[in-house]
Amino acid sequence: MKKLILLLIIYLAFISLGLPDALLGSAWPTMFENLNVPIDYAGIISMIVAAGTVISSLFSGSLIQKIGEAKVTTISVILTAIALMGFSYSHHFLFLCLLSIPLGLGAGSVDAALNNYVALHYQARHMN
């Protein structure tokens, strides 16, 4: 039963990984006007997040070996939450760009840590 509850929490975490990307896309039509930037600046934010995700995914293997999946996931969720809270209070495009760094780093590490945990502790069908 404990393993099933943990799997449900992991599934919820995977679903939450995609929410910030979708929220930026739906909120940007209002945000760019308030920030006084062109509409295509959303791509800059998306690319910073994507770069952070790739970088953290590349380094997460060694980090997981050093401190474990639980700590990597916890730290990454905290990074992501702080970045999203900052997004909600930001009134400057540059601040959004700075907050995109921990958002990307957190998202990539959460993804890698959860994938690693599920691959090691559950059947292959749970990965799909």
Q: Please state the rounded mean pLDDT for residues 48-69.
A: 91
End-to-end CA distance of the chain: 21
Nearest to 105 by CA among 79, 81, 66, 69: 79
Which pair of tokens denotes residue 102?
């921990």
Contact indicator for 105, 99 with CB cutoff of 8 Å: no
pLDDT digits (tens, 9 = 90+) for 10-53: 878 777 777 777 778 888 898 999 999 999 999 999 999 999 99
| Rg of the chain taking only CA atoms, in angstroms | 16
Dist. CA 39–CA 57, nearest whole Å: 29
Q: Counting beta carbons within 10 angstroms of the beta carbon of residue 38, is it exposed (0 to 12), middle (13 to 18) or buried (19 or more)?
A: exposed
Mean pLDDT value across the chain: 87
Statement: the pTM of the whole predicted model exceeds 0.75: yes
